[in-house]
Structure 1
Amino acid sequence: MELRQLYYFVKVAKKEHVTQAAEELHVAQSAVSRQIHQLEEELGAKLFLQKGRNLQLTPVGQLFMKRAEVILTDLERAVMEVHEFLDPEKGEIRLGFPHSLGISLIPEVVSEFRKKHPNVKFRFKQGMYPSLIRDVMRGEVDLSFVSPCPEEHEHVTGQTILTEELYAILPPNHPLAGEESIELAQLKDETFVLFSEGYSLRPIVWDACKKAGFTPSIGFEGEETETIRGLVAAGMGVSLLPEMALYPTGPLQPAKVRVRSPHVTRTIGLIYRSNEKLPLVARVFQRFLLEFFESKMLLKKDLIRKL
């Protein structure tokens, strides 16, 4: 059995299509088909079944997929460790994070880190809370930002590094758009634009509305911060978003108003696999992040004292 066969098998299983897998692998479709066929012959079992134009893993294929992914992840980690041993400054950090952090936070911390470590590479993976936890568990990322940080988990551990305030966002012509702050209850008759099920910000907004004495009427749902912000700016409803998700990215922007009651926040944690040593370069980045956010909080407290 060749390593190349495992790479091809995993890629086809994820794409569910030989042609698309071949395009990503930059090889001929016939080469992928041949390697899959040889793998099936060696195992003595069918790994895929044709389902319309796509391929679907058989039960045996699903079993083999789990092991193949572990093998390839371990091999990738071993190669990284060798490279780090030879030169820690040329390692790679695999970092996961939710979409809402990709607008400003991730570019900021990576830019700051690379000022001291310019040769370190990054591989990013975005996702929802459950998928980010899963990516850490499977070893597909070394570190991941999540919101909130899981308090108790069998396979991952971490620490809360940031608490962030959520603001009400309103259409620019909304009667409350010019207010410095509002009670969340003042939005009880509004249509809300919320994240879809599975996104961690959705239950935070939902619970805040319940604390304010009402159940939000949901008119639109989205999966990207820009979508939520754009729909609100276009007059489709109101919402709550964390401050770092409100950096202007286009001409059409919603109004941002502080919510004084109830005070709505979210916590952001940094997690990694339990009982497993992080790669050297990831440990360097982890220390940098803890120092970065600690200094950020101290600076914020100092500014508040001066006001």
Structure 2
Amino acid sequence: MELRQLQYFVRVARLQHVTKAAEELHVAQSAVSRQIHRLEEELGVHLFVQKGRNVQLTPVGQLFLRRAESLLTDLDRAVLEIQEFLDPEAGEIRLGFPHSLGYHLIPRVVAAFRKLHPNVKFRFRQGMYASLIRDVVDAEIDLAFISPHPDKHDHVTGEVVLTEELFAILPETHPLALEVSIDLAQLKDESFVLFSPGYSLRSLVWEACKNAGFTPRIGFESEETDTIRGLVAAGMGVSLLPEMALYQTSAMMPAVVKVKSPHVTRTIGLIRREGEKLPTVVQMFHSFLLDYFQNEYTPR
């Protein structure tokens, strides 16, 4: 079995099309078909079945794909580790984070790190709580900022690096918009603009409302902080957002009011795979982040 055969197989499996795979690999279609055929002969199974102009994995093909992808990922990481051993300053860091950290936090910490290590490359992946944990476990990313920080997980470990307060956001014409602080219960009759299901901030706001004695009535849902902020500014409802999501200014800005009861906060953690030694360049970044949040980070 050759490495080239695995690479061709994975590309065809992902695209479900031999011709498209050949184009991406910059080889002839016949070369791809020949290598796939040889691989099937060696394994003694059919990995694909024809489905119109496309191909589809057989059940055993699906099983083999998982193993092949894992092998190729391990090989890529091995090559990268050797390169980093020779020159850590030229390595790559794969970092995941939720959308709510993308505007303010991530650019700040990456810019601060790149001042010290200008040649280090970054590959970013945004996602929701569950997908970020899965990407860390599956070695798709090295580190992830995540909120809330998981109390316990069998396959990831990490630290809380930041605790952040959530504020009520209201249309500027709202009767409570000029208040210094409010009780969350004062918004019990309002329509809420919340994150879509699966986002941790939705669960956090929902739980805060329950603790205040009411179930929030949902008027709109969104996957983007900017959209939620804009909808509230346009008078479509109220919401709660973390302080970090309120630094950006635009023509459509809501009023921001402190919530005194219940006091609502979120934890932001930095997670990595349990029991695995980080590559040199990732360890450099990890140590930098822990020091940065302890000694240098300020909210604005």
Q: Say whether the fold is shared (TM-score over 0.5).
A: yes
For residue 115 of structure 2, what is the aligned residue in structure 1? 115
Normalization by structure 1: what TM-score? 0.88
**Moved segments of 4+, more than 6 Å:** 51-54
In structure 1, stretches of 5+ residues that fail to align are: none
For residue 267 of structure 2, what is the aligned residue in structure 1? 267
Percentage identity across paired residues of the two chains? 69
For residue 99 of structure 1, what is the aligned residue in structure 2? 99
For residue 202 of structure 2, what is the aligned residue in structure 1? 202
Which amino acid in structure 2 is aligned with residue 258 of structure 1?
K
Q: Cα distance, 1:226 vs. partner?
A: 2.0
Q: Cα distance, 1:17 vs. partner?
A: 5.3
Superimposed CA distance per residue, residues 43-100 of structure 1 (whole angstroms, 9 cap, x where no aligned partner): 3333345667765533212211221121111111111111111111111111111111
Q: Cα distance, 1:36 vs. partner?
A: 4.3
User: Is 1:70 aligned with 2:70?
Assistant: yes
CA contact (8 A) 2:22 2:32 kept: no
For residue 174 of structure 1, what is the aligned residue in structure 2? 174
For residue 150 of structure 1, what is the aligned residue in structure 2? 150
For residue 82 of structure 1, what is the aligned residue in structure 2? 82
Q: Cα distance, 1:230 vs. partner?
A: 2.3
For residue 282 of structure 2, what is the aligned residue in structure 1? 282
Q: 1:278 to 1:134 in 2, by over 3 A?
A: same
Q: Cα distance, 1:194 vs. partner?
A: 1.2
Q: Cα distance, 1:38 vs. partner?
A: 4.6
Which amino acid in structure 1 is aligned with residue 144 of structure 2?
S
Q: 1:246 to 1:14 in 2, by over 3 A?
A: farther
Superimposed CA distance per residue, residues 175-202 of structure 1 (whole angstroms, 9 cap, x where no aligned partner): 2222222111111111111112211111
For residue 30 of structure 1, what is the aligned residue in structure 2? 29
For residue 165 of structure 1, what is the aligned residue in structure 2? 165
Q: How does 1:192-231 map to 2 (within 5 A)?
A: 192-231=192-231
Q: Cα distance, 1:37 vs. partner?
A: 4.7
Q: 1:3 to 1:173 in 2, by over 3 A?
A: farther
Superimposed CA distance per residue, residues 228-281 of structure 1 (whole angstroms, 9 cap, x where no aligned partner): 222222222111111111232642222222111110000011111111100011
CA contact (8 A) 1:18 1:32 kept: no
Tell me, in whole angstroms, the C-alpha distance in 2 between the residues paired with 1:171 and 1:33.
Answer: 59
Which amino acid in structure 1 is aligned with residue 128 of structure 2?
M
Q: 1:116 to 1:188 in 2, by over 3 A?
A: same
For residue 9 of structure 1, what is the aligned residue in structure 2? 9
SS in 1 for 2:215: coil
For residue 251 of structure 1, what is the aligned residue in structure 2? 251
In structure 2, stretches of 5+ residues that fail to align are: none
Q: Which moved more, 1:235-244 or 1:27-36?
A: 27-36
Which amino acid in structure 2 is aligned with residue 267 of structure 1?
T
Q: Cα distance, 1:22 vs. partner?
A: 5.9
